[in-house]
Amino acid sequence: MTNLFPVPSTDKVFSNRFRIHPVEGDHMEPGLSERRDYVLLMPVQTYCCEGIYLFDLVPGGRGTLLRVQNILGGKVLLKSDNPAYSTERIMTRAEFEEVVLAYVVADIKVRDVMVLQQLCQDS
């Protein structure tokens, strides 16, 4: 019988270019759930494209995930997906570069929290 779950080599799993980060805060609800989902981050220092980014907006915080859209005049619009947060923030590219930490490359949706918690306790 074929091994359905082959173990990949560690050089393919671990990378200095990507980080897995838990979703913290409810800014991206309902798409990304706090303390349930994760995101695959690529550390960046500049704007690369529209999408979701991790920002250092609160001193001592763990980062805030926000959707970013390009707008006219070389500026970007930061906003939450959660309708409870109606505040949108416009920044210049220079202001953006002062607070950006990473770009979200992929969402990791946890389907079974109980299994994940058990695996974390066993390791």
Question: Of 66, 86, 85, whose CA–CA distance to 77 is shortest?
Answer: 66
> Average per-residue pLDDT in the chain?
86
Domains contained in the chain, number: 1
Whether residue 81 lies inside any domain: the answer is yes
Residue 50 belongs to some domain of the structure: yes
**pTM for this entry:** 0.81
Residue 85 lies in a domain: yes
**Is residue 97, in this structure, part of any structural domain at all?**
yes
**Length of the chain as a residue count:** 123
Does 44 reside within a domain?
Answer: yes
Report if residue 8 sits inside a domain: no
- pLDDT tens track for 72-110: 888 999 999 999 998 899 999 999 999 999 999 999 988
68/50 Cα distance (integer angstroms)? 5
The beta strand positions in the chain, using DSSP E, are 19-22, 38-43, 51-55, 64-71, 75-79, 89-92, 100-108
Report, as an integer, the average pLDDT of 16-32. Answer: 90
Give the CATH number, domain containing residue 63. 2.10.109.10
Instruction: Give the domain extent around 50.
Output: 15-122
3-class state of residue 86 by DSSP:
coil
